[in-house]
Structure 1
Amino acid sequence: MSWIYLIVAGLFEVAFTSCMGKVKETTGSEMYWWFTGFIISMSISMFLLIKATQALPIGTAYAVWTGIGAVGTVLAGILIFKEPSTIWRLFFIATLIGSIIGLKAVSH
């Protein structure tokens, strides 16, 4: 169950960074709605990360959480914010995914 908490926490990290990007792009009441989404997503992400670390080593949990967040945020940047998708960006995203899988495989 801890791994599920951790994966969902990582997805909420992607949500809060995406909301942060939208806050930067918007103004007025729309900006405040995105900021509210940021606060809610960050709170859920942190809560689930804490739950996951009750059964997983903190180093592994934090590395996986940030890895999921980094991969998801880069992909969101490419798909939502129209950031460039160069071969090197995709290559290093693939290495991050491999590292996340490797940490899961060697964790007890």
Structure 2
Amino acid sequence: MSWILLIIAGIFEVGFATCLGKAREADTNTTLWMTGFFICLGLSMYLLYKASLEIPLGTAYAVWTGIGAVGTVLIGIFVFKEPYSFLRILFLCTLVGSIVGLKMVSSH
């Protein structure tokens, strides 16, 4: 169950980064995006805390950060039209492999 909470926490991390990006883009009414940012931030931190009660903190934090980084890069590419290259995708895949590796060697 802790791993599921950690994955959801990572998804909310992507959510708060996305809301921050949209608030930065918005010409008017950034309040809606900033509200989404703070809701996602709070949920992400709470779920990270809950997951870290059973998963070692270093592993939980690394996985949470990795999920957030991968998700945020993908949102950047597909939503914000950020540039992508072979090397960027290669290193993103390397990061995903590292996250999976941490899960595989974790005792929980």
- Interval of TM-score (by shorter of Structure 1 and Structure 2): over 0.9
Q: 1:99 maps to what in 2? A: 98
Distance 2:5 2:41 in 1: 14
Gapped runs of 5+ residues in structure 2?
A: none
1:1-108 correspondence runs (5 A):
1-29=1-29, 31-108=30-107
**Aligned structure 1 segments of 4 or more residues deviating by more than 2 angstroms:** none
TM-score scaled to structure 1, two decimals? 0.98
Instruction: Determine the C-alpha separation between the residues in 2 that align with 1:16 and 1:88.
Output: 26
Percent identical residues: 59
Q: Distance between the aligned counterparts of 2:73 and 2:14, measured in 1?
A: 9
**Alpha-carbon offset, residue 8 of structure 1:** 0.2
In the alignment of these two chains, the number of paired residues is 107
Distance in 1 between residues matched to 2:24 and 2:43, nearest whole Å:
21
Q: TM-score, normalised by structure 2?
A: 0.98
Show CA shifts across 1:58-100 (max 9, x none).
Answer: 0000000000000000000000000011111100000000000
Deviation at 1:42, TM superposition (A): 0.3
For residues 13 and 24 of structure 2, the distance between their equivalents in structure 1, rounded to whole angstroms, comes to: 17
CA distance in 1, matches of 2:54, 2:106: 11
